[in-house]
Amino acid sequence: MLDDDLVFTVPTGQVISKEDDLSTHRAKLLRLDRLDFHETHARAIGEMILTTTKATLAGRFNGAAFDGTFAYTRLWRRSGAGWRIVAGHASQIM
């Protein structure tokens, strides 16, 4: 699902790679207790798909609790392995 060239900006502003994202999950630094999707939209842009999603999440990241509504943007590119995320951004909605 993640392209090898992934560039993703997390809510702190840090830009991470595919390996950074996978390492976070392997180390079980992220635990979700709640995940509610509110809306998702998709739009074709040339040979790619842009998706936007709003979701309410609660859980812990690296031991710190979080709870809020977040906006996500993802850019998907089709490859020989199917659709892969090449870029993304997440921001907390205040």
Q: Give the pLDDT confidence score for residue 72 in this predicted structure.
A: 98
Q: Give the pLDDT confidence score for residue 81 in this predicted structure.
A: 85
Amino acid at 17: S
Report the CATH number that the domain containing residue 65 is assigned in CATH: 3.10.450.50
Q: pLDDT tens digit string along 41-86?
A: 999 999 999 999 999 999 999 999 999 999 999 999 998 889 999 9
Regarding beta strands 64-79 and 30-45, do their DSSP bridges make them parallel or antiparallel, or are they unpaired? unpaired
Structure tokens that stand for 29 in this block: 């630094």
Number of domains observed in the structure of the chain: 1
Q: How far apart are the first and last CA of the chain?
A: 29
DSSP lists the bridge partners of residue 78 as 83
Q: Give the pLDDT confidence score for residue 90 in this predicted structure.
A: 97
Q: How confident is the model at residue 16 (pLDDT cuts 50, 70, 90)?
A: very high
Q: Residue 26 — φ and ψ, nearest 5°?
A: -60, -40
What is the domain extent for residue 74?
Answer: 2-93
